[in-house]
Structure 1
Amino acid sequence: MTSGSAAWEGRAGAFRPLAARPYARARVVLFPHGGGSASYYKPWAAAVPWDLEFVAVQYPGREDRFHEPPPSTIRELAAVLAGDLPFERPLPTVLFGHSMGALTAFEIARRMTVMGVAPARLVVSGHPAPALARPGTVHLGDDDELIEELRRTEATNLDVLDNEALIKTFLPIIRNDYRLSETYTMAPGARLDAAVSVFYGDRDVEIDEQEAHGWADATDGSFDVTVFEGGHFYLDHHRDQVIDLVTAHARAAAAGAAAVPWPSAP
């Protein structure tokens, strides 16, 4: 059984490798923010090292999955994605999720834990701990209010926001993503045993120090926090540093534990 990206050829669904890595020793799975897509992580491709596979997640309802119905909850989204996990490829795995992607990665990590294939590490970015998730009403506002929120958080390219026809096409998906995040509540379930790392910007109004450290309560594993200069999308300005940290975690996972065979797909 190969562990390289060739095994992905012809594979449809959620997981998109950023670059071919036939000798990968570990995998990093990247979950986009609300309103984002797998292509958000394309600029990372040039920095992916030879020994790691970076895979971006494509949510239903966008880009080449545009015609698929969006999920109704974060847990439903996680269930849809988990059904497409690469069970045949036994690589130590690090999950990275930004904003809504942090919650999605957390719910995937819970499912993997129950299945006996827990990730080596969960890296969450720009979102409060699941138990401290903030309710919100942005998804209930009109289109102009939603667009203004996108401008405030810099979540979408300004050229897109200024293109009325284009933004109107994507607003329903963006609104649904806000609804998923703003109505999320942590349900009883598996406690993680994976290490958890939290990244956030020091000017990000979407998360504070207490909410960041609250992630420690989600796991029995180790825990650490890294604070960057910047706002909610600090990672656009500190991309190399973020990739270096994630790379170090993935290489540590590869060195510290033998790969565990994945079970058969449910």
Structure 2
Amino acid sequence: MAVPVTGSAWVKCFHRSVAGAPRLICFPHAGGSASSFHWLSQALSPAVEVLALQYPGRQERLVEEPIDDLYALVDRVVPEVRKWCDRPFALYGHSMGATLAFETAGRLEQTGLKPQILFVSGRRAPRRGAESERYRLDDEGLIEEIKRLNGTDAGVLDSDELIRMVLPTIRSDYRAIETYRYRPQPARACPVVALAGDHDPDTEIADVEAWREFTTGDFTLHTFAGGHFFADDNKEQVGAVVAGHLTPGAAR
């Protein structure tokens, strides 16, 4: 597990940045942890300070009860994120994290805190497509689903002890995102940058492109070779895209 250099129970920072560097606040996928963004922090530092959220129920917060309602998770996340909005900042979320980042951006904008950019990765836009109910699967079915998406380290899935430790949290996260229902609200004022894998079994490119409906700012779509976790095989390219948009004046 990557060791953060600073942060809190909710927010981790893995690498030092230069004074005044813009912040990129990252929201992990269902079952994911803050360390899933260690690679991005390494790629962007020291020019960008990458912060990653640590939801309850994983890694050093494993003993805490996970939150199985997305709006309840937003309620907990927003006050923690606000503490880090004292300089230019952007939000980046993958899969479930994209929806959570989108809802967080809305809450922040309501209070006058506008992200420079909202990055939404590997997630269809709200209202696009029916949600599955994977959280209702039995343990064996849920494990097979996780393997299909390649979203968890194989060493964890091969260990009965480890998988029993993390499966309740994964199920809780799936319940949170699969029971989420979009509540009509103003479009985001910040630009939206969408990222997608061209062979994602869960997310059609057209459904990712529909994020353009949810911003009054600029919209950009980047596609990469790969599935739901396309960034795992395209870290250099994804890092370059994110860095390019975070360059002052590149995306407004």
TM-score range normalised by the length of the shorter chain: over 0.9
State the structure with bigger RCO (CA 8 A, min sep 6), 1 or 2.
1
Q: How well do the aligned residues superpose, as a CA RMSD in angstroms?
A: 1.8
Identify the residue that residue 188 of structure 1 maps to in structure 2. Answer: 184
Residue 68 in structure 1 maps to residue 33 in structure 2: no
Residue 150 in structure 1 maps to residue 142 in structure 2: no
CA drift at 1:35: 0.4
Alignment check: 8 A CA contact 1:26 1:251 kept: no
Which SS does the other structure have where 2:195 is aligned? Answer: strand
- Residue segments in structure 2 that go unaligned for 5+ positions in a row: none
Identify the residue that residue 43 of structure 2 maps to in structure 1. Answer: 47
Which SS does the other structure have where 1:177 is aligned? Answer: helix
Partners of 1:24 and 1:221 lie apart in 2 by 25
Partners of 2:215 and 2:66 lie apart in 1 by 29
Partners of 1:66 and 1:86 lie apart in 2 by 24
Partners of 1:106 and 1:199 lie apart in 2 by 14
Residue 20 in structure 1 maps to residue 9 in structure 2: no
Which SS does the other structure have where 1:120 is aligned? Answer: coil
Letter in 1 for 2:239: I
Partners of 1:181 and 1:107 lie apart in 2 by 12
Residue 229 in structure 1 maps to residue 225 in structure 2: yes
Alignment check: 8 A CA contact 2:117 2:251 kept: no
Which SS does the other structure have where 2:26 is aligned? Answer: strand
Alignment check: 8 A CA contact 1:93 1:120 kept: yes
Partners of 1:206 and 1:45 lie apart in 2 by 26
Equivalent residue runs for 1:61-210 within 5 Å: 61-87=57-83, 90-132=86-128, 134-210=130-206
Number of equivalences: 248
Identify the residue that residue 30 of structure 2 maps to in structure 1. Answer: 34
Change (3 A) 1:164 1:249: same
Identity of aligned pairs, percent?
34
CA drift at 1:88: 6.2
Identify the residue that residue 239 of structure 1 maps to in structure 2. Answer: 235
CA drift at 1:86: 4.5
Partners of 1:154 and 1:160 lie apart in 2 by 12
TM-score for the superposition, normalised by structure 1: 0.87
Partners of 1:232 and 1:97 lie apart in 2 by 13
Letter in 2 for 1:181: I
- Residue segments in structure 1 that go unaligned for 5+ positions in a row: 1-7, 258-266
Change (3 A) 1:202 1:17: same
TM-score for the superposition, normalised by structure 2: 0.92
Partners of 2:31 and 2:58 lie apart in 1 by 9
Say which is worse superposed, 59-68 or 213-222, in terms of deviation. 59-68
Alignment check: 8 A CA contact 2:82 2:108 kept: no
Say which is worse superposed, 202-211 or 144-153, in terms of deviation. 202-211
